Structure 1
Amino acid sequence: MTDSKELTPAQKMMGDIAPKLVQLNDDILFGDVWERKEISPRERSLITVSSLITGGNMEQLSFHLNKAKENGLSEEELVEVITHLAFYAGWPKAMSAIMVAKKLFLEEK
C-alpha cells in the first residue's frame, strides 16, 4: 500500500477486505493517473463527475463532487454539468445526481 502512516480513505473503507484494490486505487489511480500532467486536475474532475453521472454511479459521486470543488469547479458549474447531462445521460440519472449534490452542498454550509 502507500507509504503514508495515516490511512487513506480507501484503506479505511475497504482495506480490511480488499487490500489489493486499495493499493491499486491509492497507488495507480490516485498516485499515477490523477497526477498525470496531460490534463489538469480540474478537467479530470469534470470528466470523472460526468462519467459517474452518465454511468449512474451515485455512490462515488459525493467524493468526486468534493474533489471537483477542491480542483476548482464551483457548485454552480457542477449543477450546470448535471443539468446539461440530463439530456445526454438521462433525466433519472440527473435527478439522482442533483439530489446527491444538494445534500452535499447543504451539509457544507
Structure 2
Amino acid sequence: MTDQPTPARSPFDDIAPALGRYTSEVLFGEVWERPELSKRDRSLVTVACLVSLYRSNELPFHLKRALENGLTREELVEAITHLAFYAGWPTAASAIAAARRVFEEVESSQ
C-alpha cells in the first residue's frame, strides 16, 4: 500500500521520531500483520471505531486503506449508515462526507 507510513514518511518523524517508529514498526508492522484477523476485517473495525469516535483526521487514510484491503465502497457506506444509529447522526454525516472525498480521489487517480 502506498499510503502506509514508513519510517522515512511517517508524519511524526520530524517532531516525534519514537511515535513515528511505533506507528511504522508496531502498529502497521506487528498489529496489522497478526493473522487472527484479515486486513480487510481490521480495516472494517478501524473505520467503525474512527467513525464512532469522530476521528475525522485519521478517517480518510483508513478509508483508502480499507478499499485497498478489499472492502467495497458499498460496504463502507453501509457500515457508516449502520453506525448512524449507534454513534450518532453527525458522526455518520461527517464520515459520509469524508468517504465521498476519498472515493472521488481514488476514482480520479485510476
Residue correspondence of structure 1 range 72-91 to structure 2 within 5 A: 72-91=70-89
Equivalent of residue 42 in structure 1, options 40, 43, 54: 40
C-alpha separation between the residues in 2 aligned to 1:10 and 1:71? 23
C-alpha separation between the residues in 2 aligned to 1:10 and 1:69? 24
TM-score under structure 2 normalisation?
Answer: 0.88
Question: Percent identity at matched positions?
Answer: 54
C-alpha separation between the residues in 2 aligned to 1:95 and 1:10? 34
C-alpha separation between the residues in 2 aligned to 1:78 and 1:52? 12
Show structure 1 runs of 4+ deviating over 3 A.
9-12
Give how far 1:104 is off.
1.1
What's the counterpart of residue 62 of structure 1?
A: 60
Aligned length, in residue pairs: 103
Q: Which runs of 5+ in 2 are unaligned?
A: none
Q: Which runs of 5+ in 1 are unaligned?
A: 1-6
What's the counterpart of residue 4 of structure 1?
A: none
Q: Counterpart of 2:58 in 1: which secondary structure?
A: helix
TM-score under structure 1 normalisation?
Answer: 0.89
Q: Counterpart of 2:35 in 1: which secondary structure?
A: coil
The answer on whether the counterparts of 1:42 and 1:68 sit within 8 Å (CA) in structure 2 is: yes
C-alpha separation between the residues in 1 aligned to 2:8 and 2:50? 18
What's the counterpart of residue 3 of structure 1?
A: none
Label 1:25 to 1:77 Cα distance change in 2 as closer, same or farther (>3 A). same
